[in-house]
Amino acid sequence: MNIETVGEATNFAEHALASLRGLSTAPTPQHFAIWYEYHRGQNRELNRVIDILLANRSELSEAVLDEIYDRFFATTVEHKAVRETSRRVQETLKAVVGHISDAKGGAGRFNQTLTGISGELRSPQHSPFEELVARLSNEMAEMTRHTELLDLRLTQSSVTIEQLRSHLETVRKDAMTDGLTGIANRKMFDISLRECVTQALDEGAPLSLLMLDIDHFKAFNDSWGHDTGDDVLRLVARMLIRNIKGQDLASRFGGEEFTILLPRTGLQDATSLAETIRRAFVGRRIVKKDTGTIVGAIAVSIGVAQYQAGEALGEFVRRADGALYRAKNAGRDRVWAATTAAIDQHCA
Protein backbone atom coordinates (compact mmCIF):
# COMPACT_ATOMS: atom_id res chain seq x y z
CA MET A 1 0.00 0.00 0.00
CA ASN A 2 1.33 3.42 -0.89
CA ILE A 3 1.18 6.11 1.77
CA GLU A 4 0.94 9.54 0.20
CA THR A 5 2.64 12.70 1.41
CA VAL A 6 0.62 15.58 2.88
CA GLY A 7 1.01 17.44 -0.43
CA GLU A 8 -0.25 14.48 -2.46
CA ALA A 9 -3.12 13.86 -0.04
CA THR A 10 -4.16 17.53 -0.29
CA ASN A 11 -4.07 17.28 -4.05
CA PHE A 12 -6.25 14.13 -4.08
CA ALA A 13 -8.67 15.74 -1.60
CA GLU A 14 -9.00 18.87 -3.76
CA HIS A 15 -9.69 16.78 -6.85
CA ALA A 16 -12.20 14.71 -4.88
CA LEU A 17 -14.03 17.88 -3.80
CA ALA A 18 -14.04 19.13 -7.39
CA SER A 19 -15.55 15.83 -8.55
CA LEU A 20 -18.19 16.03 -5.83
CA ARG A 21 -19.08 19.57 -6.83
CA GLY A 22 -19.45 18.52 -10.46
CA LEU A 23 -22.17 16.01 -9.51
CA SER A 24 -25.59 16.42 -8.01
CA THR A 25 -24.96 13.83 -5.30
CA ALA A 26 -24.60 14.80 -1.65
CA PRO A 27 -21.01 15.45 -0.44
CA THR A 28 -21.10 12.67 2.17
CA PRO A 29 -17.92 11.17 3.69
CA GLN A 30 -18.67 7.97 1.73
CA HIS A 31 -18.88 9.80 -1.61
CA PHE A 32 -15.74 11.77 -0.73
CA ALA A 33 -13.94 8.49 0.03
CA ILE A 34 -14.85 7.14 -3.41
CA TRP A 35 -13.55 10.20 -5.23
CA TYR A 36 -10.44 10.47 -3.08
CA GLU A 37 -9.60 6.87 -3.89
CA TYR A 38 -10.37 7.47 -7.55
CA HIS A 39 -7.94 10.38 -7.80
CA ARG A 40 -5.41 8.49 -5.74
CA GLY A 41 -5.50 5.89 -8.49
CA GLN A 42 -4.31 2.94 -6.42
CA ASN A 43 -7.42 0.83 -6.77
CA ARG A 44 -7.47 -0.14 -10.42
CA GLU A 45 -10.79 -1.92 -10.27
CA LEU A 46 -12.51 1.08 -8.66
CA ASN A 47 -11.08 3.42 -11.31
CA ARG A 48 -12.07 1.03 -14.08
CA VAL A 49 -15.69 0.90 -12.85
CA ILE A 50 -15.95 4.69 -12.52
CA ASP A 51 -14.23 5.30 -15.88
CA ILE A 52 -16.65 2.93 -17.58
CA LEU A 53 -19.61 4.71 -15.99
CA LEU A 54 -18.24 8.13 -16.96
CA ALA A 55 -17.40 7.00 -20.51
CA ASN A 56 -20.97 5.79 -20.90
CA ARG A 57 -22.22 9.10 -19.54
CA SER A 58 -24.12 7.10 -16.95
CA GLU A 59 -25.59 9.12 -14.16
CA LEU A 60 -23.54 8.64 -11.00
CA SER A 61 -26.61 8.72 -8.78
CA GLU A 62 -26.68 8.21 -5.01
CA ALA A 63 -27.72 4.60 -5.57
CA VAL A 64 -24.81 3.92 -7.96
CA LEU A 65 -22.30 5.56 -5.61
CA ASP A 66 -23.74 3.62 -2.66
CA GLU A 67 -23.22 0.38 -4.58
CA ILE A 68 -19.65 1.39 -5.40
CA TYR A 69 -19.05 2.22 -1.75
CA ASP A 70 -20.47 -1.11 -0.60
CA ARG A 71 -18.33 -2.96 -3.11
CA PHE A 72 -15.02 -1.23 -2.54
CA PHE A 73 -15.16 0.21 0.97
CA ALA A 74 -17.87 -1.27 3.16
CA THR A 75 -16.44 -4.74 3.15
CA THR A 76 -17.90 -5.81 6.47
CA VAL A 77 -21.29 -7.46 6.62
CA GLU A 78 -22.16 -5.17 9.51
CA HIS A 79 -21.61 -2.03 7.48
CA LYS A 80 -23.88 -3.25 4.70
CA ALA A 81 -26.53 -4.34 7.18
CA VAL A 82 -26.53 -0.92 8.84
CA ARG A 83 -26.97 0.80 5.48
CA GLU A 84 -29.69 -1.61 4.36
CA THR A 85 -31.52 -1.36 7.69
CA SER A 86 -31.42 2.40 7.76
CA ARG A 87 -32.85 2.42 4.22
CA ARG A 88 -35.70 0.12 5.26
CA VAL A 89 -36.40 2.10 8.43
CA GLN A 90 -36.65 5.24 6.29
CA GLU A 91 -39.09 3.50 3.94
CA THR A 92 -41.20 2.31 6.86
CA LEU A 93 -41.28 5.77 8.43
CA LYS A 94 -42.27 7.27 5.09
CA ALA A 95 -45.16 4.79 4.93
CA VAL A 96 -46.20 5.67 8.51
CA VAL A 97 -46.26 9.37 7.64
CA GLY A 98 -48.38 8.48 4.58
CA HIS A 99 -50.88 6.51 6.69
CA ILE A 100 -51.18 9.32 9.21
CA SER A 101 -51.78 11.88 6.51
CA ASP A 102 -54.48 9.60 4.96
CA ALA A 103 -56.11 9.35 8.37
CA LYS A 104 -55.97 13.14 8.73
CA GLY A 105 -57.74 13.44 5.35
CA GLY A 106 -60.45 11.07 6.61
CA ALA A 107 -60.85 13.06 9.84
CA GLY A 108 -61.14 16.28 7.79
CA ARG A 109 -63.96 14.82 5.72
CA PHE A 110 -65.70 13.60 8.87
CA ASN A 111 -65.43 17.06 10.36
CA GLN A 112 -66.90 18.62 7.20
CA THR A 113 -69.87 16.24 7.32
CA LEU A 114 -70.51 17.06 10.99
CA THR A 115 -70.32 20.80 10.31
CA GLY A 116 -72.64 20.34 7.30
CA ILE A 117 -75.21 18.40 9.31
CA SER A 118 -75.16 20.80 12.26
CA GLY A 119 -75.55 23.73 9.81
CA GLU A 120 -78.50 22.01 8.20
CA LEU A 121 -80.13 21.39 11.56
CA ARG A 122 -80.19 25.10 12.24
CA SER A 123 -82.24 25.63 9.11
CA PRO A 124 -86.00 24.97 9.42
CA GLN A 125 -86.00 23.21 6.03
CA HIS A 126 -83.42 20.59 6.91
CA SER A 127 -83.52 17.10 5.43
CA PRO A 128 -85.50 14.53 7.32
CA PHE A 129 -83.89 13.39 10.57
CA GLU A 130 -83.68 9.80 9.30
CA GLU A 131 -81.55 10.95 6.36
CA LEU A 132 -79.27 13.08 8.54
CA VAL A 133 -78.78 10.24 11.01
CA ALA A 134 -78.07 7.81 8.15
CA ARG A 135 -75.39 10.20 6.75
CA LEU A 136 -73.90 10.61 10.17
CA SER A 137 -73.89 6.89 10.72
CA ASN A 138 -72.23 6.25 7.32
CA GLU A 139 -69.51 8.79 8.05
CA MET A 140 -68.94 7.31 11.52
CA ALA A 141 -68.58 3.82 9.99
CA GLU A 142 -66.13 5.16 7.39
CA MET A 143 -64.15 6.98 10.10
CA THR A 144 -64.00 3.85 12.25
CA ARG A 145 -62.76 1.85 9.24
CA HIS A 146 -60.04 4.47 8.61
CA THR A 147 -58.97 4.42 12.26
CA GLU A 148 -58.86 0.64 12.35
CA LEU A 149 -56.81 0.58 9.16
CA LEU A 150 -54.42 3.17 10.56
CA ASP A 151 -54.12 1.17 13.76
CA LEU A 152 -53.34 -1.99 11.78
CA ARG A 153 -50.79 -0.23 9.58
CA LEU A 154 -49.06 1.39 12.55
CA THR A 155 -48.87 -1.99 14.30
CA GLN A 156 -47.42 -3.58 11.15
CA SER A 157 -44.87 -0.77 10.84
CA SER A 158 -43.80 -1.09 14.44
CA VAL A 159 -43.38 -4.87 13.99
CA THR A 160 -41.22 -4.22 10.89
CA ILE A 161 -39.07 -1.72 12.76
CA GLU A 162 -38.64 -4.11 15.68
CA GLN A 163 -37.59 -6.89 13.27
CA LEU A 164 -35.05 -4.58 11.65
CA ARG A 165 -33.66 -3.55 15.03
CA SER A 166 -33.29 -7.15 16.13
CA HIS A 167 -31.69 -8.12 12.78
CA LEU A 168 -29.19 -5.30 13.19
CA GLU A 169 -28.38 -6.45 16.69
CA THR A 170 -27.73 -10.00 15.46
CA VAL A 171 -25.49 -8.77 12.65
CA ARG A 172 -23.60 -6.53 15.05
CA LYS A 173 -23.15 -9.37 17.53
CA ASP A 174 -21.96 -11.70 14.75
CA ALA A 175 -19.49 -9.07 13.59
CA MET A 176 -18.00 -8.94 17.10
CA THR A 177 -17.85 -12.70 17.62
CA ASP A 178 -15.12 -15.12 16.65
CA GLY A 179 -16.64 -17.75 14.37
CA LEU A 180 -14.58 -20.66 15.66
CA THR A 181 -14.75 -20.22 19.43
CA GLY A 182 -17.88 -18.11 19.85
CA ILE A 183 -16.13 -15.61 22.14
CA ALA A 184 -15.38 -11.96 21.34
CA ASN A 185 -13.13 -11.34 18.35
CA ARG A 186 -10.31 -8.89 17.76
CA LYS A 187 -12.68 -6.14 16.68
CA MET A 188 -14.62 -6.43 19.92
CA PHE A 189 -11.34 -6.44 21.84
CA ASP A 190 -10.21 -3.22 20.16
CA ILE A 191 -13.50 -1.49 20.93
CA SER A 192 -13.60 -2.75 24.52
CA LEU A 193 -9.98 -1.81 25.14
CA ARG A 194 -10.74 1.82 24.31
CA GLU A 195 -13.85 1.76 26.50
CA CYS A 196 -12.02 0.09 29.40
CA VAL A 197 -9.16 2.60 29.26
CA THR A 198 -11.61 5.51 29.24
CA GLN A 199 -13.44 4.01 32.22
CA ALA A 200 -10.17 3.35 34.08
CA LEU A 201 -9.03 6.95 33.60
CA ASP A 202 -12.45 8.25 34.55
CA GLU A 203 -12.69 6.18 37.74
CA GLY A 204 -9.00 6.26 38.58
CA ALA A 205 -9.33 2.47 38.82
CA PRO A 206 -6.74 -0.08 37.68
CA LEU A 207 -7.11 -2.03 34.43
CA SER A 208 -5.13 -5.12 33.50
CA LEU A 209 -4.62 -7.15 30.37
CA LEU A 210 -3.72 -10.81 29.97
CA MET A 211 -2.21 -11.99 26.70
CA LEU A 212 -2.27 -15.79 26.37
CA ASP A 213 -0.63 -17.95 23.73
CA ILE A 214 -0.79 -21.72 23.39
CA ASP A 215 2.67 -23.29 23.61
CA HIS A 216 4.02 -25.26 20.65
CA PHE A 217 0.65 -25.24 18.99
CA LYS A 218 2.10 -25.70 15.54
CA ALA A 219 3.60 -29.00 16.64
CA PHE A 220 0.25 -29.97 18.19
CA ASN A 221 -1.53 -29.30 14.89
CA ASP A 222 1.15 -31.20 13.00
CA SER A 223 0.76 -34.21 15.27
CA TRP A 224 -3.00 -34.31 15.76
CA GLY A 225 -4.46 -32.44 12.82
CA HIS A 226 -6.00 -29.03 12.37
CA ASP A 227 -9.51 -30.09 13.43
CA THR A 228 -8.27 -31.32 16.80
CA GLY A 229 -6.31 -28.06 17.02
CA ASP A 230 -9.61 -26.21 16.47
CA ASP A 231 -11.17 -28.21 19.31
CA VAL A 232 -8.31 -27.08 21.55
CA LEU A 233 -8.96 -23.45 20.63
CA ARG A 234 -12.60 -23.91 21.61
CA LEU A 235 -11.51 -25.56 24.87
CA VAL A 236 -9.19 -22.66 25.71
CA ALA A 237 -11.99 -20.18 24.98
CA ARG A 238 -14.35 -22.08 27.32
CA MET A 239 -11.70 -22.19 30.00
CA LEU A 240 -11.19 -18.43 29.82
CA ILE A 241 -14.91 -17.73 30.02
CA ARG A 242 -15.16 -20.04 33.04
CA ASN A 243 -12.48 -18.05 34.86
CA ILE A 244 -13.79 -14.54 34.31
CA LYS A 245 -16.74 -12.61 35.67
CA GLY A 246 -18.71 -9.39 35.42
CA GLN A 247 -17.11 -6.78 33.17
CA ASP A 248 -14.09 -8.95 32.23
CA LEU A 249 -13.78 -9.63 28.51
CA ALA A 250 -12.10 -12.68 26.98
CA SER A 251 -11.36 -12.45 23.25
CA ARG A 252 -9.59 -14.38 20.55
CA PHE A 253 -6.88 -11.93 19.56
CA GLY A 254 -5.91 -13.98 16.52
CA GLY A 255 -4.68 -17.48 15.67
CA GLU A 256 -3.87 -19.21 18.96
CA GLU A 257 -3.61 -16.01 20.98
CA PHE A 258 -6.24 -14.85 23.43
CA THR A 259 -6.66 -11.77 25.61
CA ILE A 260 -8.54 -11.00 28.79
CA LEU A 261 -9.34 -7.42 29.75
CA LEU A 262 -9.77 -7.02 33.49
CA PRO A 263 -11.35 -3.72 34.52
CA ARG A 264 -10.88 -2.64 38.16
CA THR A 265 -8.13 -5.22 38.57
CA GLY A 266 -4.54 -4.49 39.54
CA LEU A 267 -1.42 -6.30 38.37
CA GLN A 268 -1.25 -8.64 41.34
CA ASP A 269 -4.83 -9.95 41.06
CA ALA A 270 -4.50 -10.17 37.29
CA THR A 271 -1.31 -12.18 37.67
CA SER A 272 -2.92 -14.63 40.08
CA LEU A 273 -5.87 -15.07 37.70
CA ALA A 274 -3.37 -15.76 34.90
CA GLU A 275 -1.72 -18.34 37.11
CA THR A 276 -5.09 -20.01 37.84
CA ILE A 277 -5.77 -20.22 34.11
CA ARG A 278 -2.31 -21.59 33.33
CA ARG A 279 -2.68 -24.24 36.03
CA ALA A 280 -6.07 -25.29 34.68
CA PHE A 281 -4.27 -26.81 31.68
CA VAL A 282 -1.56 -28.56 33.66
CA GLY A 283 -2.15 -32.32 33.68
CA ARG A 284 -5.32 -31.92 31.64
CA ARG A 285 -5.56 -34.49 28.88
CA ILE A 286 -7.05 -33.55 25.55
CA VAL A 287 -9.31 -36.25 24.10
CA LYS A 288 -9.97 -36.50 20.38
CA LYS A 289 -13.73 -36.10 19.91
CA ASP A 290 -14.36 -38.62 17.15
CA THR A 291 -12.15 -41.49 18.32
CA GLY A 292 -11.84 -40.80 22.04
CA THR A 293 -8.04 -41.06 21.69
CA ILE A 294 -6.02 -39.15 24.25
CA VAL A 295 -3.87 -36.70 22.33
CA GLY A 296 -1.69 -35.47 25.13
CA ALA A 297 -1.76 -32.11 26.82
CA ILE A 298 -1.32 -28.48 26.03
CA ALA A 299 0.28 -25.66 28.00
CA VAL A 300 -0.15 -21.93 27.80
CA SER A 301 2.07 -18.92 28.42
CA ILE A 302 0.55 -15.67 29.65
CA GLY A 303 1.83 -12.11 29.72
CA VAL A 304 0.21 -9.62 32.13
CA ALA A 305 0.28 -5.83 32.14
CA GLN A 306 -1.50 -3.11 34.07
CA TYR A 307 -2.52 0.03 32.25
CA GLN A 308 -0.46 3.09 33.11
CA ALA A 309 -2.32 6.39 33.04
CA GLY A 310 -1.63 8.29 29.84
CA GLU A 311 -0.09 5.33 28.04
CA ALA A 312 -1.15 4.78 24.42
CA LEU A 313 -3.45 1.80 23.86
CA GLY A 314 -0.95 0.21 21.51
CA GLU A 315 1.78 0.57 24.10
CA PHE A 316 -0.36 -1.16 26.74
CA VAL A 317 -0.96 -4.12 24.40
CA ARG A 318 2.71 -4.17 23.43
CA ARG A 319 3.73 -4.40 27.09
CA ALA A 320 1.41 -7.38 27.69
CA ASP A 321 2.77 -8.93 24.50
CA GLY A 322 6.32 -8.22 25.66
CA ALA A 323 5.58 -9.99 28.95
CA LEU A 324 4.21 -12.95 26.98
CA TYR A 325 7.39 -13.00 24.94
CA ARG A 326 9.41 -13.10 28.15
CA ALA A 327 7.27 -16.00 29.43
CA LYS A 328 7.97 -17.89 26.20
CA ASN A 329 11.68 -17.17 26.37
CA ALA A 330 11.86 -18.23 29.99
CA GLY A 331 10.69 -21.71 29.00
CA ARG A 332 6.90 -21.45 28.31
CA ASP A 333 4.07 -22.80 30.51
CA ARG A 334 4.39 -19.75 32.73
CA VAL A 335 3.06 -16.31 33.59
CA TRP A 336 5.10 -13.14 33.27
CA ALA A 337 4.02 -9.76 34.59
CA ALA A 338 5.24 -6.49 33.08
CA THR A 339 5.68 -4.18 36.04
CA THR A 340 6.71 -1.08 34.09
CA ALA A 341 7.73 -0.40 30.52
CA ALA A 342 11.35 -0.97 31.46
CA ILE A 343 11.43 -3.54 34.23
CA ASP A 344 9.70 -6.91 33.96
CA GLN A 345 9.20 -9.22 36.84
CA HIS A 346 8.84 -12.97 36.71
CA CYS A 347 5.79 -14.12 38.65
CA ALA A 348 5.26 -17.78 37.77
In angstroms, what CA-CA distances link 174 with 70, 87, 163, 170, 249? 19, 21, 16, 6, 16
User: Nearest distance from residue 311's CB to ligand GH3, in Å?
Assistant: 26
First to last CA, the chain: 42
Cβ nearer to Mg ion, comparing 65 with 327: 327
Cβ nearer to ligand GH3, comparing 25 with 181: 181
* Residue 178 near which of ligand GH3, Mg ion, none (CB within 5-8 Å, type-dependent): none
Binding residues for ligand GH3, per CB under 6 A?
180, 213-219, 221, 226, 229-230, 233, 255-256, 328, 332
Residue nearest to ligand GH3 as judged by C-beta position: 229
| Contact between 267 and 304 (Cβ < 8 Å) | yes
Q: Give the active site residue among 195, 256, 275, 315.
A: 256
Query: Using CB atoms within 10 A of its CB, is residue 277 exposed (0-12), middle (13-18) or buried (19+)?
Result: buried
* Residue 218 near which of Mg ion, ligand GH3, none (CB within 5-8 Å, type-dependent): ligand GH3
Select the residue interacting with Mg ion from 217, 220, 281, 336 (CB under 5 A). Answer: 217
User: Nearest distance from residue 215's CB to Mg ion, in Å?
Assistant: 6
Select the residue interacting with Mg ion from 213, 248, 321, 344 (CB under 5 A). Answer: 213
Active site residue 91: no
* Residue 226 near which of Mg ion, ligand GH3, none (CB within 5-8 Å, type-dependent): ligand GH3
Query: By C-alpha distance, which of 318, 288, 286, 289 is closest to 299?
Result: 286
In angstroms, what CA-CA distances link 328 with 130, 176, 211, 335? 97, 29, 12, 9
Cβ nearer to ligand GH3, comparing 98 with 254: 254
Q: How many Cβ atoms are within 10 Å of 58's Cβ, its own excluded?
A: 11
User: How many CA atoms lie less than 13 Å away from 16 in the CB half-sphere?
Assistant: 22
User: Nearest distance from residue 238's CB to ligand GH3, in Å?
Assistant: 15
Q: Which residues are catalytic?
A: 256
